[in-house]
Amino acid sequence: MSYNQLDILFYPALFFAGSRSDPALFFAGSRNNPALYFTGGRSNPALFFAGSRNNPALYFTGSRNNPALYFTGGRSDPALYFTGGRSDPALFFAGSRNNPALYFTGSRNNPALYFTGGRSDPALFFAGSRSDPALFFAGSRNNPALYFTGGRSDPALFFAGSRNNPALYFTGGRSDPALFFAGSRNNPALYFTGGRSNSVLYFTGSRNNPALYFTGGRSDPALFFAGSRNNPALYFTGSRSNPVLYFTGSRSNLVLYFTGSRSNLVLYFTGSRSNLALFFAGGRSDPELYLQVVEVTLYYILQVVGVTLHYILQVVEVTLNYVITVNL
């Protein structure tokens, strides 16, 4: 008598073939909708499910130790699900299929797609591989705390903090990004565009009042100042090696100033703009006005010395007259 005949005749509440200790085929309840079902053997069945065949609470195929297909909860939306093998499944998620708490594809050691939290807005997400993902973010998809695309070693787009106002941001590559700033997008502490090696725009401090600023390139910038934009301590335009305009101290009260070039100045003075200590025009090597300034200065000094000597002689004379008058 076949199993089908047994099933038709008896509709058994408990059924097995082979032996009770390790049956080859086993189910309890009914064959159409058994409460417990497995084939192969009890110790390591090839097909197993509990609950019902249409929507089992526990289901796996292959073997219990390393099943090829496994899920718990229900077939329509299981709480735990993977395919391939338990040790390194090809598809895995936990929670529910519609919005799993943990999900990855490929393999557990190096998944191709991975996220935790929920599918709609996961807390951790990357695609490609765990070691060097093509797309990665942490926090949430809407406003991640860490995000990059391309690869972890040299991503094409990277920011940390939040997407709206990241603490660290660059595009291009980490080695020489096209756009880079640190701090925040609204008021970054470090900013440049172009590339790190030869940036087009660079400043540190803040965008509104940077401590260091230049355009052109870092090696020889076209515009540079240090301190603040409103009142820089060091400023020049043109290039660092041969600036057109240069001063130190402050814009309102300069300590050192010249125009033209450092080697051949057109205008130069030290001290302050309102009260110059040294001034000449032409060039440092052969100034046209410097000697005139020296001559006038010497003449002024001689006049001061002469007036001073005359005043001293007058004081001595008055003093001697007073001494003689008192003694008499």
pLDDT for position 251:
65
Residue 115 phi/psi, 5-degree rounding, is -155, 160
pLDDT confidence of residue 268 = 67
CA dist., res. 38 & res. 59, Å (int): 10
Q: From CA 224, how far away is CA 205, in angstroms rounded?
A: 14
pLDDT, residue 78, reads: 92
pLDDT by residue (tens digit) across 272-317? 656 666 666 665 555 554 444 444 444 444 454 444 444 444 444 4
CA distances from 80 to 11, 35, 71, 177, 197 (A): 32, 20, 5, 42, 50
Distance CA 273, CA 141 (A): 57
225-269 tens-digit pLDDT = 777 767 787 777 777 677 777 777 766 777 776 776 666 666 666
For 294, list phi and psi in degrees, rounded to 5.
-65, -45
Residues 70/64, Cβ–Cβ less than 8 Å: no
* Confidence band of 86 (pLDDT split at 50, 70, 90): confident
pTM beyond 0.75: the answer is: no
Reading the block at residue 9, the tokens are 């005749």
Whether 64 contacts 71, CB under 8 Å? no
Q: CA–CA separation, 256 vs 267, rounded Å?
A: 11
Least confident window among 83-92, 208-217, 227-236, 263-272: 263-272
Alpha-carbon dihedral 84, 88, 93, 95, rounded to 10 degrees: 120
Q: In whole angstroms, give the CA distance from residue 270 to residue 214.
A: 24
Write the DSSP symbol of residue 29: S
The average pLDDT across 72-76 equals 89
| Backbone phi, psi, residue 199, to 5° | -75, 150
Phi, psi for residue 311 in degrees, rounded to 5: -65, -40
The pLDDT of residue 261: 65
In this structure, the strands spanning 47-50 and 146-149 are: unpaired
Average pLDDT along the chain = 75
Residue 3 pLDDT exceeds 70:
no
C-alpha to C-alpha distance for 203 and 323, rounded to whole angstroms: 73
Under a CB-based contact definition with an 8 Å cutoff, are residues 91 and 84 in contact? yes
293 to 241, 258, 270, 300: CA distances (angstroms)? 28, 17, 14, 10
Say what the pLDDT of residue 311 is.
46
